[in-house]
Chains A and B, each alone.
Chain A
Amino acid sequence: MIDTPDLIATLASDMKPVKRLQPPLVRALGWLGFAALLLALIAVNRGIRPDLGDRLRETAFATRTAAALATGILAAIAAFVVSLPDRSKLWLLLPVPALVVWLSNVGYQCLTHWVVIGPEGVSPGEAVRCFSTLVLTGLPLSCLLCFMLRYAAVLQPAAVAITGSLGVGALTAVALSLFHTIDASAMILMWNVGTTAMFGALGAFFGRTAMGWAADRMS
């Protein structure tokens, strides 16, 4: 084993000027800007759902979409803040109120206005289009988040990964609501809650590995 003074001498001789990180809020806004650009590109390419204007006038749909959007934004901010060593863990609670509003709204709507999936309620084609939107939105956002938060791999990767994944999942759910006609209750549950749960689980299981991999590649 190398002596500690020798290690210090080695590290000091290896010292190069480093670019300090921007404040976490600025970095989170950068990531959210990329998310907005991505959604805009998908909207141009795919087109938004034809009845979006009418649906946004409905309180339930508007509340659900706004709460999902707020969850995504706040979870992203929380992930960027908590990724730094000297910030309070309480920041992890930032997206919780919006998340509670979103999930309770979805649950309440499904409970009181259960819409059964009819023969034309869901088609294999629509499911495939939904899945492709999920991948097109979720994958680039996850990759960018992993890259931007790679330094957290040596600190508290699980908390950062799960919070970041919650942000990705919520924004993906917003994208699905904007681009696809998902009105059946089971479909709303699956594509909103299921998507978020899936990204959260992926973050919990693979977040550390992914951030570590990104950190190794960039070091």
Chain B
Amino acid sequence: MVLLKVIDGSGSNARDTRQARELDWSILMARAQDGDRVAYHRLLTEISPFLRSLATPRLRDGADVEDAIQDILLTVHAIRHTYDPARPFAPWLVTIAKRRLVDRLRGWGRIRRREVAMEREHEAVAEPQSDTGLDGHHLQAAVETLPPAQQKALRLVKLQDMSLKDASHASGMSVVALKVNVHRALKNLQRLFSDRIQP
């Protein structure tokens, strides 16, 4: 019995507090409509936690919740002239908030229907395959199996990244000979590694 009274009392207190708060918001909004910036700042600051409590269960993600709150505040600002001070403020605010949250959720729904999540298979760059034998050590060994002219041309032009002219000076080979030897070296390496990769 005592417990019931306590619960009842706390319930009526909570209701009184809520009604007082809503009356306060109504007065602040009425003042804001008349151009009171301080009242408006106070109102928006006070309703933000309330809006957060509405948005959090629906959106969960913190950044989205904050985004939604700002969206609702901007809507309140845009249509603040539609509020009638003779009527309670909370239903006016809650309707706007729910409408914006529903629009946000619908927007996400549309995005989910039209977009596909990026999976590992969609990656454009293939992962290096560790068991193909294409590491630096194997490459070095493979280059050493090439004829000396091809080895020299490949090292200068591809591995040391020299220009054909500089490589020609360094090796004594003509530019044309360099080109031919690099081409043949690459062909040989390609054939060598493709033989290794074949099961």
Contacts and interface: CB of A to CB of B under 8 A. Distances in A.
Interface of A: 1-2, 4-5, 7-9, 11-21, 23, 84-86, 151, 154-156, 215, 219
Most A Cβ at <10 Å: residue of B77, B78, B82, B87: B82
Interface in B18-74: 32-38, 40-41, 44-45, 48, 63, 66-67, 69-70, 73-74
Interface in B66-97: 66-67, 69-70, 73-75, 77-85, 87-88, 91-92, 95-96
B162 to A, nearest CB: 51
Interface residues of B, number: 37
Contact of B37 (A1, A5, A15, A154): A15
B165 interface: no
Contact of A15 (B32, B45, B83, B99): B32
A134 B193 CA distance: 79
Given A5-B45, A18-B80, A20-B83, 18 more contacts: A1-B70, A4-B66, A4-B69, A4-B70, A7-B74, A8-B73, A11-B73, A13-B37, A16-B35, A17-B34, A20-B84, A21-B82, A21-B84, A85-B82, A86-B84, A154-B75, A154-B100, A215-B78
Most B Cβ at <10 Å: residue of A4, A14, A19, A21: A4
B33 A11 contact: no
Given A4-B69, A4-B70, A7-B73, A20 B35 contact: no
Contacts of A14: 77
Contacts of B96: 85, 155
Contacts of B37: 12-13, 15
B40 A156 contact: no
A1 B73 contact: no
Chain A interface, >50% SS class: loop
B186 to A, nearest CB: 51
What are the nearest 9 A-B pairs in CB distance?
A17-B35, A12-B41, A86-B92, A18-B81, A85-B95, A86-B91, A8-B44, A151-B79, A15-B37
B78 to A, nearest CB: 6
Interface in B128-187: none
B76 to A, nearest CB: 9
Most A Cβ at <10 Å: residue of B34, B69, B79: B79
B40 A11 contact: yes
23 contacts: A2-B70, A4-B66, A4-B70, A4-B73, A5-B45, A7-B73, A7-B74, A8-B45, A12-B37, A12-B41, A14-B77, A15-B32, A15-B37, A16-B35, A17-B35, A19-B81, A20-B81, A21-B82, A151-B81, A154-B79, A155-B96, A215-B78, A219-B78
Contacts of B88: 86
A156 B83 CA distance: 16
B39 to A, nearest CB: 9
A15 B40 contact: yes
B70 A7 contact: yes
A85 B92 contact: yes
Most B Cβ at <10 Å: residue of A8, A13, A17, A151: A8
A12 B70 contact: no
B33 A18 contact: yes
Contacts of B84: 20-21, 23, 84, 86
Contacts of A19: 81
Nearest to B97: A85
A151 B82 contact: yes
A154 B41 CA distance: 22
A202 B95 CA distance: 26
A151 B92 CA distance: 14
Contacts of A215: 78
A2 B63 CA distance: 11
